[in-house]
Amino acid sequence: MKTADFDFDLPEDRIALRPAEPRDSARLLVVKDGALADHLVSDLPDFLRPGDALVFNDTRVISARLSGVRQRPNPVIGGPEGETLTVEVEANLHHRDAPDAWSAFMKPGKRIKPGDRVRFGAHGDAACALGRLDATVTGKQEDGLVALKFDLSGPALDDAIRDVGVMPLPPYIAAKRPEDDRDRSDYQTVFAAHDGSVAAPTAGLHFTPALLDAIRAKGVTTHAVTLHVGAGTFLPVKADDTADHKMHSEWGTVPAETADALNAVHAAGGRIVCVGTTSLRLLESATTPEGVIRPFHGDTAIFITPGYRFRAADVLMTNFHLPKSTLFMLVSAFAGLETMKAAYAHAVADGYRFYSYGDGSLLHREA
């Protein structure tokens, strides 16, 4: 399909810069059989049935945006001995490649070369290593990713990233205001448990402990999977045809006990309700063509567009996504392209708030 098929007009003032308070007071557009109904997230239990299973992503967002300087010896013959050329850089971590290594999107990317040393955090040659984090560029990929090998490893590296980095707000928010202390809590779900994401599973941001209690009181079971969301989720689709787009991989896991429980739900006639495109993509990656969910542990680069036959997910709760994005393609595959175009047109006209801190939708799978 053509990427242009997934375009739509979105006024700038529809982009939410802060979440609703309380979280479950956000609006919820229910989409079923082509019909649209306006509700609130707090109404979600009314659309669930006893025996359904709610599946959410329990990843935790890390402080994945790092600022620092690239350091390189001065190549000029006769220049001052030991002089180092420095350039300010910014890295958005994307994928954990090893205990001491990450791949990242960096700015200015074209000026980064293998062998460069990068000092994040404290600039200059401070004698004290506290407040800084050093890495070596070990490679560059065609898709714009830069491979970084850090001087620290494992939990020590995790601690340093937490100290040096900042919350990686999406570019459409970061361009309008800086990250602040509120974002450190606002940009985490209440069920965040496992460090590793560089972007929030945003549908999960709407949940509160009270809402989860109400859902469980309805006879709905709740289950966690983990997909560490990468920075590639914000990249535009540059190819004119969706068949030519390459997805970046993300790491995820579906525990055996979760897979068994979800298979039992389907066997008993219940529905699997995915909270967010991340949990949906992971479950679809873990499910056989026959519809059996298997334990999963590893990377997935699944790219879902109209024509895909869903194997696991029956209902999807998700936010409103960017024009021509892989996520709008996914929801169009799930509920139908024309239905989603109508839903988004309604949302724009009726003042729904878009993107990470915006309102939500509850999509029923197209028959």
Each residue's pLDDT tens digit, 282-337: 999 999 999 999 999 999 999 999 999 999 999 999 999 999 999 999 999 999 99
Angle at CA 152, nearest 5°, toward 148 and 154? 95
Check residues 104 and 232 and name the one with the higher pLDDT: 104
Output the six-digit token pair for 28: 């919820």
Claim to verify: residue 221 and residue 341 sit in the same structural domain? yes
pLDDT above 90 coverage of the chain, percent: 84
DSSP 272-290: EEEESHHHHHHHHHHB-TT
Which pLDDT score is estimated for 235? 77
As a 3-state breakdown, the chain gives helix, strand, coil percent values, each rounded to 5, of 30, 30, 40
Claim to verify: residue 58 and residue 194 sit in the same structural domain? yes
Claim to verify: residue 258 and residue 295 sit in the same structural domain? yes
| Mean pLDDT, rounded, of the chain | 92
Which pLDDT score is estimated for 82? 52
Claim to verify: residue 46 and residue 137 sit in the same structural domain? no
Which pLDDT score is estimated for 363? 98
What is the domain range of residue 121? 65-164
Instruction: For 180-190, write each residue's pLDDT tens digit.
Output: 989 999 999 99
Q: What is the CA radius of gyration of the chain?
A: 22
In this predicted structure, the answer to whether residue 127 has a pLDDT above a threshold of 90 is: no
> Does any domain span residue 176?
no
> Does any domain span residue 170?
no
How many structural domains comprise the chain? Answer: 2
Claim to verify: residue 251 and residue 313 sit in the same structural domain? yes
Which residues, in sequence order, are CB contacts of 126 under 8 Å at separation 6+? 132
b (16+ CB within 10 A) / e for 174-191: eeeeebeeebeebbbbbb
> Does any domain span residue 173?
no
Which pLDDT score is estimated for 86? 80
Claim to verify: residue 134 and residue 259 sit in the same structural domain? no
Last residue of a domain, one of 164, 199, 215: 164
Asked whether the whole model's pTM tops 0.85, one would answer: yes
Sorting pLDDT into bands at 50, 70 and 90, what band is 163? very high
Task: Report the distance separating Cα 114 and Cα 292, nearest Å.
Answer: 44
The beta strand positions in 99-155, using DSSP E, are 101-107, 117-121, 132-140, 145-150
Instruction: For 222-235, write each residue's pLDDT tens digit.
Output: 999 999 999 877 77
> Does any domain span residue 169?
no
- Here the CATH number for the domain that contains residue 138 is 2.40.10.240
> Does any domain span residue 213?
yes
Which residues, in sequence order, are CB contacts of 106 under 8 Å at separation 6+? 89, 90, 91, 92, 112, 146
Claim to verify: residue 359 and residue 234 sit in the same structural domain? yes
Claim to verify: residue 259 and residue 157 sit in the same structural domain? no
> Does any domain span residue 175?
no
Last residue of a domain, one of 137, 164, 191: 164
> Does any domain span residue 301?
yes
Claim to verify: residue 281 and residue 136 sit in the same structural domain? no
Check residues 27 and 170 and name the one with the higher pLDDT: 27
Claim to verify: residue 110 and residue 52 sit in the same structural domain? no
- Here the CATH number for the domain that contains residue 337 is 3.40.1780.10
71: exposed, middle or buried (Cβ count in 10 Å: 0-12, 13-18, 19+): middle
- Residue 188 amino acid letter: Q
Last residue of a domain, one of 164, 191, 223: 164
Range 229-257 average pLDDT = 90
Query: In this structure, what DSSP letter does residue 307 have?
Result: T
> Does any domain span residue 192?
yes
Claim to verify: residue 226 and residue 310 sit in the same structural domain? yes
Range 54-66 average pLDDT = 96
In this predicted structure, the answer to whether residue 87 has a pLDDT above a threshold of 90 is: no
Claim to verify: residue 214 and residue 303 sit in the same structural domain? yes
Which pLDDT score is estimated for 122? 60
Task: Report the distance separating Cα 183 and Cα 169, nearest Å.
Answer: 8
Which residues, in sequence order, are CB contacts of 144 under 8 Å at separation 6+? 105, 109
Output the six-digit token pair for 54: 């709610």
